[in-house]
Amino acid sequence: QSVLTQPPSVSAAPGQKVTISCSGTRTNIGNNYVCWYQQLPGTAPKLIIYDNDKRPSGIPDRFSGSKSGTSATLGITEVQTGDEAEYFCGTWDFSLRMGVFGTGTQVTVL
């Protein structure tokens, strides 16, 4: 059902960096800004990146976002055990005329 493609999982040792990719098409990422959500176990998604690379108030600068063409990337530096969560990318699809999400990526801190 998910329109955007992400790797199922990534892992890193504490203090290292992780990157998560999000691949779409011309009708979504290619022509719209991307956002990212963090979903800690048992909780609702939380917006951590919007407009490709902006962070809402309270989100540490260890989280960063970028977009190029029909793909986007979320980066987490100095990863901590508290960052263990599912991460979803999201954007608008002008062909479907609806919000679309990525398949989700589980981040594990070893």
Binding site for another protein (CB under 8 A): 1-2, 31-33, 35, 37, 43-47, 50-51, 56, 88, 90-92, 94, 96-104
The distance of Cα 77 from the centroid of its chain, to the nearest Å, equals 14
The span from the CA of 1 to the CA of 56, in Å, is: 28
Cβ-based nearer residue to another protein, 13 or 57: 57
Cβ-based nearer residue to another protein, 63 or 101: 101
Least distance from another protein to the Cβ atom of residue 109, Å: 20
Least distance from another protein to the Cβ atom of residue 15, Å: 29
- β-pair type (46-49, 85-93): unpaired
Least distance from another protein to the Cβ atom of residue 36, Å: 9
In three-state secondary structure terms, 26 is coil
Cβ-based nearer residue to another protein, 13 or 42: 42
Residue tagged 């960052």 (tokens): 83
Contact in structure between 38 and 107 (CB atoms under 8 Å): no
